[in-house]
């Protein structure tokens, strides 16, 4: 049947605005998604009716704010089938979630000469925390290679590196540049067999497809509210309860303690042990509305829509002379999310993005916080990237393809 994109679009006020006098075409959802009125209203209602600090007040609006904040985490636990609410830590974003593990778990478990294994397709937020940890502890950071076409992780290469017995394997579920959907369950099973703990960076997965962390069986899983219709300011860290229990705290301060004396402190129960200081309550409440919104559509429907759209966009772009695309294609589209990195021959991606902008089309150009992948593997200084979501229509893809012709016209690339 497919999504009723036109009716979904009506929920997103920004999609009926214009940019440079033309209807806005927003193709940068991998960076951050737009927000439906349901989310905007939830945040506004909090500010209007029950704005208060959580966990602290015994007065009515503080109790209500606390209940709504905790309800958001219960929804998050269900959204990824975490099993227990105690496994869900709220923080600022995926980056902070990964840093929590790299610092709190890493300091307690990684020593001199230990191996940590990531891949060549990671976002900086799943590279730099491990580089810092490796440096502090004298550990060795290995990178699982990509296949010859730079589309997938080279599984044989990964297996070879697993023979070094890494203590941690951390990889992205979906690449924010290639769109590649990694087989998280298979990689987790291989890593566990090799004796490693596993963290999955789900920033580009949870917004776009059904994710079941217990089926994957990873030890940690991280994602961000702002990429899944929710407000910025909330990240989600899932961790297996026993691991969160034994991990030392990440940040110290209010809320994460049970008691504090002049000579030391004891820790709150999980997940609060990892939630130091005043939390971003309004963002958590908005995220709850976002998860409910996505839940009503159904994540399988979300995925189906993006798969159809990606196939259409890729075919149209590949039919356009002078356009090069990156990541899985053809028979492999089942393993590609709604992200298309591309270049127009003879045009710098920043020029492409600027000309698109004049056409009212928002895309991203650059290294997309994946410099090793873009500059070393794809061997490009930068790439343009269009990314899709539930509100992206076929008509918008057509406008994107027309904009490529405009790029060639403006830059006199007569192909």
Residues with a catalytic annotation lie at 369
Q: What token pair was written down for 278?
A: 């005043």
Smallest gap from residue 94 Cβ to ligand PMP (A):
4
Sign of the alpha-carbon torsion through 264, 255, 279, 223:
positive
Ramachandran class of 396: left when φ > 0, alpha when ψ lies in -120 to 50, beta otherwise: alpha
Residue with token string 């990237």: 385
Place of tokens 């997940």: 271
Judged by CB under 6 A, the residue of 34, 72, 87, 172 near ligand PMP is: 172
Candidates 93, 100, 180, 281: give the one binding ligand PMP (CB under 6 A): 93
Site string for ligand PMP, 271-290 (x = CB under 6 A): --------------------
- If one asks whether residue 28 binds ligand PMP (CB under 6 A), the answer comes out as no
The minimum distance between CB 304 and ligand PMP, in angstroms, equals: 22
Question: Quick one: CA dihedral 145, 150, 156, 158, positive or negative?
Answer: positive
Least distance to ligand PMP from the beta carbon of 321, Å? 30
Q: Is 256 in the site for ligand PMP (CB under 6 A)?
A: no
The verdict on 99 binding ligand PMP (CB under 6 A) reads no
The 10 Å Cβ neighbour count of residue 336 is 24
- Return the range that interacts with ligand PMP (CB under 6 A); candidates 43-51, 118-126, 210-218, 306-314: 118-126
Q: Which of 33, 176, 182, 279 binds ligand PMP (CB under 6 A)?
A: 176
121 contacts ligand PMP (rule: CB under 6 A): no
Residues 220-239 that bind ligand PMP (CB under 6 A): 224
Q: Which long-range contacts (CB under 8 A, 24 or more apart) does 210-216 make?
A: 210/299, 210/300, 210/303, 211/79, 211/80, 211/81, 211/173, 211/299, 212/80, 212/81, 213/80, 213/81, 213/82, 213/238, 214/81, 214/82, 214/83, 215/81, 215/185, 216/184, 216/185, 216/188
Binds ligand PMP (CB under 6 A): choice among 99, 100, 170, 204: 204
Residues 358-377 that bind ligand PMP (CB under 6 A): 369
* Contact residues: ligand PMP, CB under 6 A: 93-95, 123, 125-126, 172, 176, 201, 203-204, 224, 369
């Amino acid at each position: 049947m497919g999504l009723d994109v036109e009716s979904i679009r009506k929920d997103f006020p920004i999609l009926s605005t214009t940019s440079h006098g033309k209807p806005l075409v927003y193709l940068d959802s991998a960076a951050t998604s737009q927000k439906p009125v349901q989310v905007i209203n939830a945040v506004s209602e909090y500010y209007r009716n029950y704005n208060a600090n959580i966990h602290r007040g015994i007065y009515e609006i503080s109790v209500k704010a606390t209940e709504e904040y905790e309800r958001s985490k219960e929804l998050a636990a269900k959204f990824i089938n975490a099993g227990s609410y105690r496994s869900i830590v709220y923080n600022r974003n995926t980056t902070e979630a990964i840093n929590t593990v790299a610092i709190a778990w890493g300091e307690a478990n990684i020593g001199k000469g230990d191996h940590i294994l990531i891949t060549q397709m990671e976002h900086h937020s799943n590279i730099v925390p491990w580089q810092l940890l490796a440096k502090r502890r004298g550990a060795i950071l290995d990178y699982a290679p990509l296949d010859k076409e730079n589309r997938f992780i080279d599984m044989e290469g990964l297996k070879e590196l697993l023979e070094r017995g890494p203590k941690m394997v951390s990889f992205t579920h979906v690449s924010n540049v290639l769109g590649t959907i990694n087989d998280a369950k298979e990689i987790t099973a291989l890593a566990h067999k090799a004796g490693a703990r596993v963290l999955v960076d789900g920033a580009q997965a949870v917004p776009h497809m059904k994710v079941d962390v217990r089926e994957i069986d990873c030890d940690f899983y991280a994602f961000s509210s702002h990429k899944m219709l929710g407000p910025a300011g909330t990240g989600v860290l899932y961790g297996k309860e026993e691991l969160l229990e034994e991990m030392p705290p990440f940040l110290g301060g209010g809320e994460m303690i049970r008691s504090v004396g002049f000579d030391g402190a004891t820790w709150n129960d999980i997940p609060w042990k990892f939630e130091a200081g005043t939390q971003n309550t309004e963002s958590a409440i908005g995220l709850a509305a976002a998860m409910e919104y996505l839940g009503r559509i159904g994540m399988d429907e979300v995925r189906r829509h993006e798969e159809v759209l990606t196939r259409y966009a890729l075919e149209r772009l590949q039919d356009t002379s002078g356009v090069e695309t990156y990541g899985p294609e053809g028979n492999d589209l089942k393993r590609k999310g709604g992200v298309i990195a591309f270049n127009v021959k003879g045009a710098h991606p920043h020029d492409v993005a600027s000309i698109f902008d004049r056409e009212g089309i928002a895309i991203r150009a650059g290294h997309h916080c994946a410099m090793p992948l873009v500059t070393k593997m794809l061997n490009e200084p930068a790439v343009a990237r269009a990314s899709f979501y539930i509100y992206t229509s076929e008509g918008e893809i057509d406008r994107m393809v027309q904009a490529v012709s405009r790029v060639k016209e403006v830059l006199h690339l007569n192909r």
